[in-house]
Amino acid sequence: MIQRIIFATAIACLLIAAPVQSQTVIYESDVLHHPVVGQNGMVASQHTLASEAGLEILKKGGNAVDAAVAVGFSLAVVLPRAGNLGGGGFMMLYDSKSNETKSINYREMAPLTSHRDMYLDPDGNVDRMKVIASYQAAGVPGTVAGLAMALEKYGTMSLKEVMKPAIKQAEDGFVVTHDLARILRNSTRRMRAWPETAKIFYKGDDFYEAGDVLKQKDLAWSLKQIAKHGPKAFYGGEVGKRLVADMVDNDGLITMDDLAAYEAEDVEPVWGKYRGYDIASMPPPSSGGVHVIQMLNMLEAFPLGYMGHNSAETIHIMAEVMKRAYADRSEHLGDPNFWDVPVEGLTSTEYAASLIKDLDRWTATPSDDIKAGKPQAYESEETTQFTVVDKQGNVVSNTYTLNFSFGSGIVAKGTGILLNNEMDDFSAKPGTPNAFGLLGGEANSVQPKKRPLSSMTPTMVFKDGKPYFATGSPGGSRIITTVLQVILNIIDHDMNVSEASNAPRMHHQWYPEELYIEKGVSYDTQSLLRSKGHVVKYRNAMGSTQTIMIRDGYIFGSTDPRRPDGSCVGY
């Protein structure tokens, strides 16, 4: 209940308000965490400079898609560990004029010369360094194609206009934050292994410190080429030629034919319902949308609001539901252009009911006793999410990634572009876990032009047919459960977007047989969970959500406090 208006400074989010109500926040006196509030538009991302770039576009009259594309290119400069031109992702968008919800798949593709057993050594084991830290670890990037496609089909401004902030940030430089300085120092061994990378992100033998200015001249050149010539600069022009030349010199796989063959695609969202709300999320090759809806279908049978947020019983039920969904993920999910994914079956309420028939409210089911189900034929830690709402009510929720922090750590010579290591998201060997501990099978095996399975889950929730809130997160295998918990926090536990973002999280992914919890879950609760048979493990902060809600004529936003430098800006 909105009770009064006070002046306040947002801690986790930076508020830029309209002149008449400068720095005002609508305050709920009975809560600990307060969202940023605006009325004309809002941007939430993992870096202040990127959020401000998006806000600049909104204030110039651009719509949510224009602003989102500006944010995407800006993050490629100021958040190099996750923002990217050399990776890929998924975008969900709502068009207020047509009242339609769209999704764009710009996930990376396997190169044309790739094959099923390409990452196995002579003994038949997975060569981990080849799949995560070599030129052969890179899938064909999709970010440039995806952002350009969104702008052309749903935006109102030119590529040249929306890319201005990113070009300026790359050419003139930006101030290094404490977090960027820390992560560059921590990544020095693998980043300095590549001379082109070391040249950009290190000062000879010295490190960039907080307050230094980091300029990226080669990246500025690439951005200018794209702004001038469009995506063809990357997929057939001078940027692509430099990238491929570096591939040739380093036994890489990506060729000019690979770049020319790449296409982003418009795909239909996957839809579900939960307690009267409509849920729209990404379809395969995202596993996130299918399994968020599958888990919500199972959870609707339990009175989570009555059971209480993060009570032992609530966490137990959530863990049991998560195990069943992740078991299905290992067998049924893959690129639908190559594998018949039973989306309708997995997201049906009848199937959900069958999965929870043996769910014991008092005792954990061992993971060995949970197998992938038989639905009828009816997805790094260093990923990043941004969410945008404009004054017309258009909404964008976008998640994109390089996979690992800084991807493979390799910068393509002369481009300033970090290369992804997304080939690790395929099942290099069925039954062998990837870097995030996820199991996979033939559905996600390596094949030319195939897109690897992903956990990225940009999601929108609708109330009475209109967008209510949009969210998404990085976090590797934990993305799906992070998004799930934001939805539950708002719908079942009546939290505002800031409370929902701050609340402690948990995670279970079937294997390993461990229930992960964040700091903030009490020792008593942990003891009760262990008594139910769970193997409880403390883990570092999970996810970094960017969530925006539209309600009561206002826009409410929150950036996750788990990672520094993020901001939510509105006016």
Catalytic residues: 383
**C-alpha to C-alpha distances, 411 to 221, 258, 259, 406, 416, nearest whole angstrom:** 14, 18, 17, 9, 6
User: How far is the C-alpha of 81 from the C-alpha of 259, rounded, in Å?
Assistant: 23
User: How far is the C-alpha of 83 from the C-alpha of 174, rounded, in Å?
Assistant: 15
Main-chain phi, psi angles of 468, to 5 degrees: -105, -50
Cβ–Cβ < 8 Å for 278, 270: no
Q: Which residues contact 336 (CB under 8 A, 6 or more apart)?
A: 283, 284, 285, 343
Q: Which region, left, alpha or beta, applies to residue 400 given φ > 0 means left and ψ of -120 to 50 means alpha?
A: beta
The three-class DSSP label of residue 482 is helix
266 CB neighbour count, 10 Å cutoff: 12
User: How far is the C-alpha of 13 from the C-alpha of 566, rounded, in Å?
Assistant: 7
Q: Pick from 542, 529, 387: which is nearest to 468 by CA? A: 387
User: How far is the C-alpha of 130 from the C-alpha of 118, rounded, in Å?
Assistant: 9
**DSSP state string for 305-340:** HHH-TT-HHHHHHHHHHHHHHHHHHHHH-S-TTTS-
Q: Pick from 283, 309, 360: which is nearest to 487 by CA? A: 309
User: How far is the C-alpha of 312 from the C-alpha of 410, rounded, in Å?
Assistant: 44
Cβ–Cβ < 8 Å for 280, 462: yes
Cβ–Cβ < 8 Å for 559, 497: no
**DSSP state string for 369-392:** G-----------TTEEEEEEEETT
Joined tokens for residue 405: 């922090």
Q: Which residues contact 374 (CB under 8 A, 6 or more apart)?
A: none
